[in-house]
Structure 1
């Protein structure tokens, strides 16, 4: 087996493309894509790149020609026969044929649509436009390309033995975290780190470490390609993208207020069990739960992805109790900016009150903080989001105002419609 440092060194010889497959993506994107393909296939969307960490000048760090080469390579990809067979025939969340034949026929013929790229003020403006099912599949690979190319730009300054030392230190850092996780009784944790990973090779390496170090406590990975190759569970449900687009399409304030629940009504028609996970924070968790229809309280659980995670879990517990549900039978998935200290604290606080699970993202697959001079490999906050739908701007409020997105006038309107008051701002690290 060739060690990872040697493989990284060989990147200079272009052995490895950043994105190797259309299923080198998060499982939830494919689940959502099938839902969109069924319910809103003709909606026209624009997705845009947003670098929240403006101190990281991507256009100065990443060569435009190299970026275009990687993006063009992604446009050349299509499903292989083995990938199609895995998606068609595998069991996901205990369900056979998760992906319907009509969706699979469309996906097998898919090539991703064109992109638009230009430089502005030290950053890249990268946008994708077309029908929603096609364009949405650009999000994860676009982020993975930019994150990995930024890392390669730093790594190519290092000599061979410097790389060996770097990856030895990063591996030690990862394993020390895993050793701490081994002490948590009843732990359930998955890899959610595709979008802002250090590299594909490092994400795969981190997954192998989790498999060996945590055994049954490691429940799987969001990355479909790694799940297929390592024969582990593909993990994921739904994300903010669905309510953002549904809300943008709403014709008036009343329809806007209904939009987040319309999303989940469509989702419920397709999925049951552990796929019925509520993501309540797109327009504020408190208001979402207060006005939620009774049928949602019967869903399996809630994913907490912004704001103070402990506060979010307490809010969910109170809501279930108010609806006559037993929180001990419900699942709480923590997934926002997790690292070992936070995981330990949340597990100890909640594991005997609810079913606790963790989706560990960037700081699993991209924690190179403090390992090179100037900390140039530290992760940063890069997102690719739906910016408009059928010509109307999208909005995301979140439980953290520092994650809010959209035109100021529309943000104000959404806050009024959804009754969002003063929020506690928190730093956005990743």
Structure 2
């Protein structure tokens, strides 16, 4: 096992690049990329970094030269033979050859496109433009780089024994959470923490701790490289990006209203079983389910990623009942702002009513809260989103209006089309 504190103390980034592989990314990104490659390959999109935590002035903390060096390194990456063999031949969700030969041939020859970087008001403006299948693969690496460089800026000022104590405390803190979860009967939890992790080495350590501490209750990791290296299940389905871009491509309000369902129709043609998970909150969960076609009720489950999680689960349960489905046979995956206490609470609340799963993110892979001076290592809310498609603004409404994004006029239009009324604001922790 890597001595992380010593590795940080002796740090040279060429030994420990922040992103060390094109598959050092979330599994859902590759699944979505294949769907986009098949259905919308010529769509031109722009992704942009968005720092929701304005008090964290990234451009004051992170050296621009070092950031460019890391981004340039990512652009140099290509699939290794072993990575390609793993993707082509491994079994994912019980299915062999999840990735089609035409997609794999493209992916094996793909290099990430150029980026645009500048400083503005203490923040970095980082954007990526180009064809959707290529540009979308920048999201997770870009977030990983910014999160880790911010952490490295703090760690660089710490002495050797300070680093040893810091990581010992962080390990103790995480292991304490694992001991809490060991007592939970029927628990099913996966690592969803790549995008806002403390570092690659720390995420890898956290995953190994989950494997040893939780055994079969730990279902796998969203990180493809760690899944490959540790012989674990790669976990993930789809994300808000798909309906956001499909909706931006709609020519009128009628097409806009149908766009979120067109996404899932395309998805259904490719996937079955546990990959058929609905993410309903992009434009409001209640309205999405109310207007949903009957065939969606037959899908395996729902992922709840914004708003009050218990309320979201209750809405889903009632929807399944109204559509003649048995909720006890359906899967509800909670994935927003989780920590051990909330996981335990939701498990106890819903274990007898649905099949429950958890995607545990930032507070698994980046909980250094209270462990550094001025809490300088505490996680913060950083995202990288598709902000336009073929020149049109994308929009996300969410079940939490504090997560909404898009041009003001378009947000109001989307609220009208999707019938979104008053919403309860909730703090965006990470």
Q: Normalising to structure 2: TM-score of the pair?
A: 0.99
**What does 1:131-170 align with in structure 2 at a 5 Å threshold?**
131-170=131-170
> 2-side partners of 1:11 and 1:347: how far apart?
40
> 2-side partners of 1:169 and 1:56: how far apart?
24
**What does 1:249-264 align with in structure 2 at a 5 Å threshold?**
249-264=249-264
> 3-state DSSP class of the match of 1:256?
helix
Is 1:245 aligned to 2:239, yes or no? no
Q: Normalising to structure 1: TM-score of the pair?
A: 0.99
Partner of 1:334: 334
> 2-side partners of 1:328 and 1:246: how far apart?
32
- Displacement after TM superposition at 1:341 (Å): 1.2
Unaligned runs of 5+ in 2: none
Q: Report the count of equivalent residues.
A: 430
Is 1:374 aligned to 2:380, yes or no? no
**What does 1:52-131 align with in structure 2 at a 5 Å threshold?**
52-131=52-131
After the TM superposition, which segments of 4 or more aligned residues of structure 1 sit over 4 Å from their partners?
Answer: none
Partner of 1:364: 364
> 3-state DSSP class of the match of 1:35?
helix
Unaligned runs of 5+ in 1: none
- Displacement after TM superposition at 1:9 (Å): 1.5
8 Å CA contact 1:12–1:156 kept in 2: the answer is: no
> 2-side partners of 1:421 and 1:12: how far apart?
52
**What does 1:5-404 align with in structure 2 at a 5 Å threshold?**
5-12=5-12, 14-404=14-404
> 2-side partners of 1:9 and 1:186: how far apart?
40
> 2-side partners of 1:52 and 1:263: how far apart?
27
8 Å CA contact 1:44–1:132 kept in 2: the answer is: yes
> 3-state DSSP class of the match of 1:380?
coil
> 2-side partners of 1:148 and 1:420: how far apart?
37
> 2-side partners of 1:243 and 1:333: how far apart?
19
> 1-side partners of 2:11 and 2:217: how far apart?
33
> 1-side partners of 2:390 and 2:151: how far apart?
36
8 Å CA contact 1:282–1:399 kept in 2: the answer is: yes
> 2-side partners of 1:166 and 1:109: how far apart?
41
- Displacement after TM superposition at 1:10 (Å): 2.2
Is 1:408 aligned to 2:408, yes or no? yes
- Displacement after TM superposition at 1:4 (Å): 1.5
Partner of 2:417: 417
Residues 166 and 250 of structure 1: is their aligned pair in 2 closer, same or farther, counting only changes over 3 Å? Answer: same
- Displacement after TM superposition at 1:11 (Å): 2.0
- Report Cα offsets for 1:305-341 as digits up to 9, x if no partner: 0000000000000000000000000000000010111
